Amino acid sequence: MLIIVLWVSIGLVSIALYFANQMTYELRASDNRVSGLMADQAIEGAARYVSLALLNFATNGAMPDNTQFRCEAVPVGDAKFWLIGRDPAGGNATDPYFSLVDEGGKLNLNNVSTNIFQYLPNIYSDFADAIMDWRGTNGLVAFDYTSLGYAPKYAPFETVDELRLVYGASAEMLAGEDLNRNGVADKNEKDLNSNGELDSGLLEHTTVYTREPNFHSDSTALTNMNTATSAQVRSLLQNASISTSYVPQLIATNATARPYRGILGLALRCKNIGMSSDDFARIASEVTTSTNTYFRGRVNVNTANAEVLTALFMGLNQDESTAINAAQTLVTYRQQNPGNLGSIAWIIDALGNTSPVITALARGDYVTTRSYQFAADIAAVGPYGRGYRRVKFIFDVSNGSPIILYRQDLSRLGWALGETVRENLVAENTE
């Protein structure tokens, strides 16, 4: 009887231990689910927080920076969120930079030509042609989509991720070496070409959202310098406390003046007739050279990275050495002169009036210094660093108030906050 009782006791204890262990797992799973829900709510709170920040700081096309509002470890209850951005200085950092991302500093898939796309890193000329074929409206079948089981769209891109459907697309081409798309080389990401740098893919350098209003924030018209009368230009200069002696030269019709192809062409004319960059900055937000309601596809030279600038310049028939040097010069100038970027005239100061790049840019309307669409790549964790979530939002402020154009869950890409954030969370939770 004693032996039987012992066996029964051991069985009951074993069952109790088994169920206790199961309940421990269930407790942890429940805790993780709660942390995930808290992270989800932190994401929603972060989206509202970004909307408020854009409403207050993204005025007149300005790019808000991470000194104007918090972008790192922002608490929402017991959860925290981060805005994964891109370091404007570039470089090869090992930890993410936290800020908003300017969509205006990228190439628009619906507006840029093939000869610009093909100069982006990891892109072949055939794939650049495939992009043009996908968005084209003439129904020309240049690539065999039958083997893929679907037909080309023959309409503008609606999202950047639509590139995955374009004939010839590959993960290496679209994401490059940055598998989790956080702008830094994480430990699990390989340097495939052994160049010691993180080579991003096409998703990093392109957008479909750039739209710049060609009117004042109160919807009143700008002064069109191609059609303005002498009296209108004189009034414009007087209101800006600029000498009216420039009027005859600004309204002259010749090879170097009207019609101006774009805002940079106007800035170059002003510089060539002796107007200073500071004076031009006083009228830059008041003038235009187009009757379009909106500009689409301009690249913001205040925020574009060196790869985008190089591709833009090479696409305008500049040789590779000239394009690379000009792009690096602009990036360096931005870092050293952050207070001089108020108008497009700064790139003339950086490169010089006679630069072949300036001459090429002045022949069209390719660049700007204003942006109205911004990406908020929000990552959040619940208590104890659990329940990781990541969602990317695209905000548009071109109509005055911020609205969300696009939302994409990126949690599947894995941890994107870097090792330092992970170590800090572990340290906080073990104190």
| Residue in the structure block whose two tokens are 């007087």 | 238
- The torsion angles phi and psi of 121, rounded to 5 degrees, stand at -60, 140
Q: How confident is the model at residue 3 (pLDDT cuts 50, 70, 90)?
A: confident
**The Cα angle at residue 147 between residues 144 and 153, in degrees rounded to 5:** 55
Q: Does residue 131 contact residue 117 with C-beta atoms inside 8 Å?
A: yes
**pLDDT tens per residue, range 196-231:** 778 888 999 999 999 999 999 888 999 999 999 999
Query: 296-326: per-residue pLDDT in tens?
Result: 989 999 999 999 999 999 999 999 999 999 9
Distance between CA atoms of 280 and 262, rounded to whole angstroms?
14
pLDDT at 43: 96
**pLDDT above 70 covers what percent of the chain?**
96
The number of beta carbons lying within 10 Å of the beta carbon of residue 57 is 14
Per DSSP (E only), the strands in 301-397 are 367-368, 373-381, 389-396
C-alpha to C-alpha distance for 81 and 46, rounded to whole angstroms: 7
pLDDT confidence tier of residue 253, bands split at 50, 70 and 90: confident
Tell me the C-alpha distance between 325 and 312, whole Å.
13
Burial class (CB in 10 A: 0-12, 13-18, 19+), 32: middle
Mean pLDDT of the chain: 90
More confident residue, 1 or 404: 404
Across 108-132, average pLDDT:
87
Rounded CA separation 250/241 (Å): 16
The pLDDT value given to residue 147: 86
Who's near 230: CB < 8 A, 6+ residues apart?
A: 247, 248, 251
pLDDT, tens only, 230-244: 999 999 999 999 999
Looking at the predicted structure, is the pLDDT value of residue 418 above 80? yes
Residue 285 has pLDDT above 60, yes or no: yes
Residue 430 has pLDDT above 70, yes or no: no
Q: Which residue has the tokens 């959202």?
A: 209
pLDDT-derived band at 146 (thresholds 50, 70, 90) equals confident
- For position 85, what pLDDT does the model report? 94
Strand pairing partners for 394? 375, 406
Tell whether the model's pLDDT for residue 159 goes beyond 90: yes
User: Which residue type, as a one-letter code, is found at position 181?
Assistant: R
Q: What is the pLDDT of residue 140?
A: 62
Residue 27's pLDDT band, with cuts at 50, 70 and 90, is: low
- Check pLDDT > 70 for residue 139: no
**Type of residue at 125:** S
| Model pLDDT, residue 118 | 87
